Amino acid sequence: MACKKTGIMTAEELRKKHKKLHESSFEPKGIYRGYADRSLYVNLSTNEVKVKPISEEMKKKFTGGRGYGMKYLWDAVNPDTRWDSPENEIIIAQGPIGGITQYPGSGKSYVVTISPLTDLPVDSNVGGHFGPLFKFCGFDALEIQGKAKEDVIIFIDGDNNRVIIEEAPEECVNSHILSETLTEMYADSEEDMKNISVVSAGKGAEHTRIGILNFSYYDQHRKKCKLKQAGRGGIGSVFRNKKIKAIVVKKSGIKGDLNNPADLDTIIKLGIKLHKEIHDNDDKQCRMRVHGTTQLVDAMNAHDLLPVNNFQYGQHPEAPKLGKESFEKMFDLGKPDGCWYGCTLACAHALQNFEIKTGPYKGQKVFTDGPEYETLAGVGSNCGIFDPAAVTEANFYCDTYGIDTISFGTLCAFVMECYERGIINKEITGGLELNFGNWEAQMELMHQMARGEGFGVVAGQGVHRMKKLFVEKYGADRDFLNDIGMEMKGLEFSEYVSKESLAQQGGYGTANKGPQHDENWLIFMDMIRNQIPTFEDKAEALFYYPLFRTWFSIMGLCKLPWNDIMPADNHLTDEPAKVPEHVDNYVALYKAVTGNDFSKEEMLRQSERVYNLQKVFCLKMGKGLRKYDYPPYRAVGPVTVEEYESRSERYDKQLKELVGVDPEGMTTEEKIKALRKYREDRYETLLDVVYERRGWTKNAIPTVEKLKELGIDYPDVVEVVKRFL
């Protein structure tokens, strides 16, 4: 069946084509104080399904969400495991707070696997209804291992307590069609559609290493499925490599007390307080309910932080075309836009009747999610494209094809710079004129990825592998490509220019999974507000914020209600960047759900266990030492004459005042070299101080003492560390 919305078969007719491979039942189990204390394991090679208890030790040490995912994956794989090995797992897990309906931002799931881009454990967060619905079926985690022979659907029926694996040969895999089809197929009625969530990945995930997972939820007001993405690290590529067409969960009867918390009254009071804060302050702060994250385009452009033309520049006069005012006119506002019940921050905006101009859906009017900041900056400004409709179409196709907009935007920008500098040409690209600003060529590249054809296959391998190919096959300058290729550990950079923020350079560089901002985002603290001026200040921030943000990932929480909406008097606190009132809320929330005694110190300790296990996991898989923590120089400073001269006044001043070099009479190349030595020396010093603060050696290895302190000095963990000490 062609992946076109042509109505060739009804959902009922498609279901008749399915072949049941397995069906089993499970005992119903309610949640107690945030936990089900069991996981669901599925092996697609053998069609084995089993329910596994989760031990008290597992719960005590790894808490939930990303913590459970990392531990399950650690136990499942060995140092020779690669992303397409049968033993690689995809784990989807929630934490104890996840699924509550009283506190905004509690619908997050966390997905863990070995990444096709990095060969390292990667984690990615995602909103929507799948995580909570699956949890209320009576499970804290879903483990999927093995490979199916043909495309399969895993159906988890929480209403009838059964799991079905069935071959599904006919359905289109592209997510905007498949999510609608399967929601209709597995629902008993239109009213029942709200109880269905579908996990899928499209044609692009099949032919690239940058695949995403789409998690659907049914918008009852628009009568359409919306999609949220687990976007980083190629998780969707693993999904399709395992021949999973979709995972479908069904659970009805969602109520506000299903987490069976210890103190529901406190949870309600905390939620009411934050709802009021959102109501009173959102219009004065980020206006998330109107603009979502599009407002960040304007903010980043104003501060020279918006990536333009492969991170060469931080501003562009046309950038406001991609900003909040354009999308306020395009978004379908006025209806609830939260991605889980009770989230009044409501940032998940959509567009109705958006007409597609390219590809297999050309001429169709589609319902599509509005682009987030990372997409606008990645496939937009970073590629020299400033048309909001063009970027929206790129966003639509990335979603339905199952392609990560961040990796796609960053690799596109790399290809475009290589094309403009003559490193590659039309013969190599198969006729694509990949200049900055050429949206038609960008879209054709994406369609090639989905078809598994042409230069799209090359580009879909990611920046890391393209650099190697361009050097070995086309004689490109290795050092120059390493300077401009915006990837680390194999993962493409997210969309912030970090040249003037040493702390953010360190944040990108030392992040376990690669250069993604969800671990820490320190640019404003460091560059704009100068709140962390010393190396020790930066190291403290690079200790605290990765752990605080990790905590969201083990609890099942979205970070937006933490600092995208703030108390009106937050600026008067001693540490406004931490939003201390909200930190206190989270401590109280955890205690109210679990009944456990808790503190801000234990919050960090919970995260530190998971964070350090993931670090040792990177060592286990062959990366993780200091040498992997160096960003491409473009993330640190100007690489080319054009970059330097675009900000010559700034850089000349730095040479004179910071480096102690008089730039008068120097060539631009000489200035670049002098500035580079200064910046690289500072980065080396930062690494030393950061590693020491984290309890690691200067070679970025957690010490055995640190593992003992955290209580994760298991023999197999210590064995890995000792190999490198």
Please state, for a pLDDT cut of 90, what percent of the chain lies above it: 92
Q: Which amino acid is at 19?
A: K
Rounded Cα distance between 225 and 218, Å, is 4
Helix (H, G, I), strand (E, B) or coil at 339: coil
Residue 94 has a pLDDT of 95
Rounded Cα distance between 388 and 434, Å, is 19
Average pLDDT on 390-396 reads 97
pLDDT band at 4 (very low <50, low <70, confident <90, very high): low
Supply 584's token pair.
């206190």
Residue 7 has a pLDDT of 53
Whether residue 344 has pLDDT greater than 90: no
Residue 1 has a pLDDT of 37
Report yes or no: 166 and 186 within 8 Å, Cβ to Cβ: no
Report yes or no: 40 and 180 within 8 Å, Cβ to Cβ: no
Residue 3 has a pLDDT of 64
265-318 tens-digit pLDDT: 999 999 999 999 999 998 998 888 888 899 999 999 999 999 999 999 999 999
Burial of 630 (0-12, 13-18, 19+ CB in 10 A): middle
206-226 tens-digit pLDDT: 999 999 999 999 999 999 999
Rounded Cα distance between 307 and 298, Å, is 12
| Alpha helices (H) along 54-107 | 56-62, 66-76
Quick one: CA dihedral 206, 207, 210, 214, positive or negative? negative
pLDDT band at 626 (very low <50, low <70, confident <90, very high): very high
Helix (H, G, I), strand (E, B) or coil at 63: coil
Whether residue 2 has pLDDT greater than 90: no
Rounded Cα distance between 376 and 390, Å, is 10
Look up residue 702 and give its DSSP letter: B
Average pLDDT on 184-196 reads 96
Strands 38-43, 141-145: pairing kind: parallel
Please state, for a pLDDT cut of 70, what percent of the chain lies above it: 99
Whether residue 6 has pLDDT greater than 50: no
CB count in 10 Å sphere of residue 421? 13
Question: How much is the mean pLDDT over the chain?
Answer: 95
- In angstroms, the first-to-last Cα distance of the chain is 55
Rounded Cα distance between 515 and 495, Å, is 10
Average pLDDT on 532-559 reads 96
Average pLDDT on 66-94 reads 98
